[in-house]
């Protein structure tokens, strides 16, 4: 798909199942929430099964995780979290209709925006893009 038309076929709050090379300690498939769309790329937030132990022991980072329930998001096998501590830049070439799994409920969209606004670890430039500032 041409990058110039990305905004026409990818929407904010959609969830894709993508291979992320930047995942640590190793690359793997993850659910990725589209948080911001530009022509040619998107900013994505990763869905994790649990809060990373590194963050769990740091109360200041608790607001960085938005719970996502399986009951309202059928693409999940169990309740999870949208991790707002960092974003992943995903080129449009990595997005396809086959990788799309669904979208976030309106309630979770609001929770993610609160987590983005309140997360002290998220880079300011990413926060501004996601919040539309």
Q: Residues 111, 125: contact at Cβ < 8 Å?
A: no
Structure tokens belonging to residue 122: 């998220």
Can you tell me the distance from the alpha carbon of 69 to that of 55, in angstroms, rounded to the nearest whole number?
Answer: 20
Residue by residue, pLDDT tens for the chain (133 residues) are: 444 466 678 999 999 999 998 888 889 999 999 999 998 899 999 999 877 666 667 788 889 999 999 999 999 999 999 999 999 999 988 999 999 999 999 999 999 999 999 999 999 999 999 999 7
């Amino acid at each position: 798909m041409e990058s110039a038309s990305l905004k026409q076929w990818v929407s904010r709050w959609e969830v894709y199942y993508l291979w992320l090379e930047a995942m640590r300690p190793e690359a793997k498939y993850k659910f990725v929430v589209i948080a911001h769309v530009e022509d040619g790329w998107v900013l994505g937030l990763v869905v994790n099964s649990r809060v990373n132990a590194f963050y769990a022991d740091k109360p200041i980072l608790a607001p960085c995780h938005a719970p996502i329930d399986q009951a309202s998001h059928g693409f999940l096998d169990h309740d999870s979290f949208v991790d707002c501590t960092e974003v992943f830049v995903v080129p449009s070439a990595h997005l396809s209709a086959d990788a799309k799994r669904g979208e976030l409920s309106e309630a979770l969209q609001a929770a993610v925006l609160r987590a983005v606004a309140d997360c002290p670890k998220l880079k300011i430039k990413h926060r501004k893009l996601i919040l539309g500032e």
